[in-house]
Structure 1
Amino acid sequence: MASPLVFITGASSGIGQALAARYHRAGWRLALVARRVDEVKKWAEASGISVDSYEIYSADVAVTDSIVAAGQDCLRRQGVPDVVIANAGISVGVDTALREDIDTMARVLATNTVGAAATFQPFIGAMAARGSGRLVGIGSVAGIRGLPGHGAYCASKAALISYCESLRGELRGTGVVVSTICPGYIDTPLTRQNRYAMPFLMRPEDFADRAFAAVQAGASYRVIPWQMGVVAKLLRLLPNPVFDRLLAGRPRKHRQSEAG
């Protein structure tokens, strides 16, 4: 029998690449999606991954037709995945007083939220017909409470968390499991320019180990590391005046024009 197959978006760096490496070590076949196809190919070759155990699909997750086409191509070339991980995401600060940042917010939502739904769409019917499969949305603890200057990212991840919860209910009884994995601060290109403290910062490889275990266990929701889950819950419980004072003066996320 063929090895199980995992479909991962945002596979060119960071969490996506670490997840791909973890699944490869477990003997899975890989369907890797990225805009930077050459980067993924170079990484796979450097990692010694045999060419018959992976395929690379070029897609822009922010463009619905592009990522849906990649999913359909995967079905034709590799079959129905056992796990689909909607990981691709962008994190950019916004200032609602600036017109150009509204366009930035639209792009963040298109990538992080609508892009995740479009990632899942091609596979739901086939997984339900087979009676098995796992759909994994990579959320964030930033989706649990809004952070100043981080409105686009927080909103996109809050929407993704709620979307996955809705989808989980819709697919109950089909054999298709929906998991929401919420990373805390992970040492990736997305976080390295942050100008504020990042408690419990994790290496991508450590996150990937824990995420792999959570998905395999069929977890419906998991915050990694667990300490950030405790922090997020405590912040959620704070009355708004206390929360607002706590975050007063906190450095804002870099805007698009400020990012290096």
Structure 2
Amino acid sequence: MPQAGPLVFITGASSGIGQALAARYADAGWRLALVARRVTEVQAWADARGLGAENCRVYGADVADIDSIAAAGRACIDAQGLPDAVIANAGVSIGMDTAEREDLDVMAQTFAINNVGLAATFHPFVAAMRRRGSGRLVGIASVAAIRGLPGHGAYCASKAGVVAYCESLRGELHGSGVKVVTLCPGYVDTPLTRGNRYGMPFLLQADAFADRAFRAIEAGTSYRVIPWQMGVVAKLMRLLPNALFDRLAQGRGRKKRRSEQ
């Protein structure tokens, strides 16, 4: 197996946070294993940066398909070795209205990608990392995990699930040398957020988020909100009495439903 530098496995690498993380790790001298459905786009990005096969490989997979993403993980181990860090970044954010039947399908798809897909991303690596006694398993959650927002039921619930799942996994791997890191981005300028119909305080550029995330992952931080200002806002939101929070939330714009996109 090539051992020129540490290896990171990143899902959702075709754009946004995933691509920014890939660039940050490449700049730090890491080898890349990048996963996306849009393989051609990711390979074009790698070629444009001058990343040859010895430094970067791209794996096609659908994170919503357990066998597909698990196969990508096994292919990475076979071709590049066991990663030092695995970042389960792939995710979707679509508004929903529970009164609409088609939006229940949106919720099912959101959970399939944001929750089951995250666990399936980690699956091929957990036992091998435990045997080796080292590694980082990184779940990308969101400050949307802190409180449920009108029209965002699927996304908020899925990201709250990411936080709880990673906390459970962290307990399971305690003492093994494998660190589980939960990152909760605030608002980051990506294709996922540009259609939002509400204000986005403390908006970060994707490369700024990636730099802070890289440092938190390297430190093995168990939980981090980025930027920290959104962490303060989230804690204050959590402390608000329900009646007051509900009134404040009513005036907030809602995420576009699939039929509106």
Q: Same fold (TM over 0.5)?
A: yes
Aligned to 2:130: 128
Distance of 1:51 and 1:60 partners within structure 2: 22
**Cα displacement (A) at 1:49:** 1.9
**Cα displacement (A) at 1:121:** 0.4
Distance of 2:208 and 2:53 partners within structure 1: 26
| 1:201 maps to 2:203 | yes
Partner amino acid, structure 2, of 1:45: D
Distance of 1:250 and 1:231 partners within structure 2: 15
RMSD: 0.7
**Cα displacement (A) at 1:250:** 1.5
Matched residue of 1:111: which SS?
A: helix
Distance of 2:145 and 2:41 partners within structure 1: 29
Distance of 1:218 and 1:98 partners within structure 2: 42
Distance of 1:64 and 1:86 partners within structure 2: 13
**Cα displacement (A) at 1:66:** 0.6
Runs of 4+, deviation exceeding 4 Å = none
My pick for the range that moved more, 17-26 or 50-59, is 50-59
Identify which of 140, 143, 165 aligns with 1:141.
143
Aligned to 1:71: 73
Q: Percent identity?
A: 70
Matched residue of 2:136: which SS?
A: strand
1:147-166 alignment to 2 at 5 Å? Answer: 147-166=149-168
Matched residue of 2:189: which SS?
A: coil
Matched residue of 2:188: which SS?
A: coil
1:1-260 alignment to 2 at 5 Å? Answer: 1-259=3-261
Distance of 1:186 and 1:71 partners within structure 2: 27
Partner amino acid, structure 2, of 1:210: R
TM-score (norm 2): 0.98
Unaligned runs of 5+ residues in structure 2 are: none
Distance of 2:51 and 2:79 partners within structure 1: 18
TM-score (norm 1): 0.98
**Cα displacement (A) at 1:245:** 0.7
Distance of 1:51 and 1:185 partners within structure 2: 33
Number of residue pairs matched by the alignment: 259
